[in-house]
Amino acid sequence: MIRPNEEINEKKLLRALVDGKLPDASGRFGPFGGRYVPETLMPAIERLTEGVHRLLPDESFNHKLTSQLKEWVGRPTALTHAARLSKAWGADVWFKREDLAHTGAHKINNAIGQALLAKELGATRIVAETGAGQHGVASAAACARVGLPCVVYMGELDIQRQSPNVDRMKRLGANVVSVNSGDRTLRAAIDEAIRDWVSDPVDTYYLLGSAVGPHPYPFLVRELQAVIGREARSQLETHGGLPDAVFACVGGGSNAIGLFHGFLGEENISLIGVEAGGRGDDLGDHSATLGSGRPGVLHGAYSLLLYDDHGQIQETHSVSAGLDYPGVGPEHALLKLVGRVKYVTAKDSEALDALQECCELEGILPALETAHAIAGARHWASTNQGARILIGLSGRGDKDMPILSQYPIKTNDTEGAENAAA
Ligand SMILES: *Cc1c(COP(=O)(O)O)cnc(C)c1O
């Protein structure tokens, strides 16, 4: 916890982070992170931590992971120059195309990495949680690929809202379990997945979907997503050099942390995370955890959270289901504290506008989550003309078609305006 008399040396913490020394041995990113789990889970957490530290640097494990990323995921993903968007914004805009990865988003990098890890650690079944269903689909696919049975916990409300993804998970062989406790969405699904894991921590592996949860998950997920930043950096270096600014959307924070890590040591590069500003600034109307959250414990880690004056975790809102979470990864909380990453918000309406512009000018339908990053970059470009900008295109928007159908396409001609008004 941050105690009033505890001295936080921001420069030192940032240095340690850049040098790869965080999280520390207790799983902390400065004051954030750690392990707030039931005692019964500690042996499983210890075993997992040992496995992560042994296998991630292991040559034979890396060979297996790299070949799955190449042959099955489709890495390296492309770096795309957004030429027409650049012209429209007065900037030089580049996309790192995680939307082109297998199953349509960055989540597969983490899912296949952890599925391989589970196999090496001798697990015989996988449990996972999912909100919008994207991590559930990636987990189901990865489990099929490595040959492990997969149980996906999903809130009852999310099952109703995301039925195409439920069908995809089932097709891919997963057992989707409906969670009707708590808020009946992602938060309850995570609680249920942890409960399952506690009941059989030896044979079961918990495949967590973002850079959140108890140590070693935030570290493990970051390491598995860091491939995004490494690739983007070397691709940019052969296409005219490093960017002035890097943008990514932040839900739990996995695509952002993976992209940012490639540039953390370059002080001249602005790193900007974009959270969901939703429909307004009131608690409950957005999911801007870093922007307006307070320190606390959720799902096994000490980080920033959205809760009310009674300490009740808040319901959040965002047009994009993948950003709709009241917590955020502990490493982002530290990056905010030390000032290395700036966190801004994009409202639902701004994300929808950015999505439309990206469709019309670049022929790419981004995910609604991703559209927040584009909206943040667009806003920043207006006061930083001529800047070179990298945007993490975390996923594709095909999954969002049912939601998008509620928002008429805005066009500049009068006929379109009439349609929109009708
Ligand atoms: C899940 C998801 C996100 C948000 O998750 P992070 O862990 O913050 O990356 C962002 N974009 C897409 C396309 C997603 O599916």
294-298 and 301-305 strand pairing: antiparallel
Asked whether residue 215 is domain-assigned, the answer is yes
Name the band, by pLDDT with cuts 50, 70 and 90, for residue 242. very high
User: Which residue out of 255, 320, 325 has the highest number of ligand 1 atoms within 8 Å of its CB and is therefore the one to mutate?
Assistant: 255
Catalytic residue among 129, 223, 231, 369: 129
For the chain, the domain total comes to 2
Sign of the C-alpha dihedral, residues 223, 314, 348, 363? positive
Distance, CA of 239 to CA of 236 (rounded, Å): 5
Looking at residue 119, its pLDDT comes to: 97
Alpha helices in 124-269 (DSSP H): 134-146, 156-161, 163-171, 186-199, 217-237, 254-260
Across the chain, mean pLDDT equals 94
| Each residue's pLDDT tens digit, 76-85 | 999 999 999 9
Report the pocket of ligand 1 as residue ranges, CB < 6 Å.
105, 107, 134, 210, 249-256, 322-323, 367, 369-370, 394-395
- What is the reported pLDDT for 321? 85
Tell me, yes or no, whether 97 and 144 share the same domain: no
DSSP annotation of 73 reads I
The pLDDT of residue 4: 47
Among the ranges given (96-110, 146-160, 247-261, 308-322), the one the predictor scored with the smallest mean pLDDT:
308-322
**Residue 26 appears among annotated catalytic residues:** no
317 shares its domain with 286: yes
- Inside any domain, residue 391: yes
**Centroid of ligand 1 to alpha carbon of 273 (angstroms):** 12
Say yes or no to pLDDT of 238 above 70. Answer: yes
Q: Residues 201, 333: one domain?
A: no
- Kindly tell me if the per-residue pLDDT of 422 is higher than 50: no
Which pLDDT value is given to residue 162? 86
Residues 283 and 362 in one domain: yes
User: Does residue 334 belong to any structural domain of this protein?
Assistant: yes
For residue 420, the model assigns a pLDDT of: 47
Determine the average pLDDT of the residues in 287-315.
95
The whole-number pLDDT of residue 6 equals 60
Q: Between 412 and 392, name the one with better pLDDT.
A: 392
pLDDT, average across residues 68-92 = 98
Tell me, yes or no, whether 415 lies in a domain: no
Same domain, 240 and 212: no
Say yes or no: 32 and 83 in one domain: no
Q: Quote the CA–CA distance of 107 and 221 in Å, as a whole number.
A: 10
**pLDDT(418) > 50:** no
The answer to whether position 17 is within a domain reads no
Asked if residue 148 and residue 87 are part of one domain, the reply reads no
Express each pLDDT in 304-344 by its tens digit. 999 999 999 998 999 998 898 899 999 999 999 999 999 99
pLDDT at 2: 55
Q: Whose CA is nearest to atom 14 of ligand 1?
A: 322
> Could you tell me the residue range of the domain that residue 93 belongs to?
74-104+225-404
What digits encode the pLDDT tens for the residues 333-382?
Answer: 999 999 999 999 999 999 999 999 999 999 999 999 999 999 999 999 99
Same-domain pairing of 214 and 306: no
Mark whether 342 is an active-site residue. Answer: no
- Is residue 62 domain-shared with residue 161, that is, in the same domain? yes
CA 275 vs. chain centroid, Å, equals: 11
Residue 231 pLDDT exceeds 50? yes
Of ligand 1's listed atoms, the one at least distance from the Cα of 323 is: 4
Assess whether 283 and 397 both reside in one domain.
Answer: yes
In SS3 terms, 163-196 reads as HHHHHHHHHCCCEEEEECCCCCCHHHHHHHHHHH
Q: Which atom of ligand 1 is nearest to the CA of 250?
A: 8
Active site residue 394: yes
- Take atom 4 of ligand 1 and give the residue whose Cα is closest: 251
Task: Quick: pLDDT tens for 95-127.
Answer: 999 999 999 999 999 999 999 999 999 999 999
Residues 250 and 384 in one domain: yes
Is residue 353 a part of any domain in this protein? yes
Buried b vs exposed e over 14-46: b needs ≥16 C-beta within 10 Å? Answer: bebbeeeebbeeebbbbbbbbbebeeebeebbe
> To test the ligand 1 pocket, which listed residue (130, 304, 394, 399) has its Cβ within 8 A of the most ligand atoms?
394
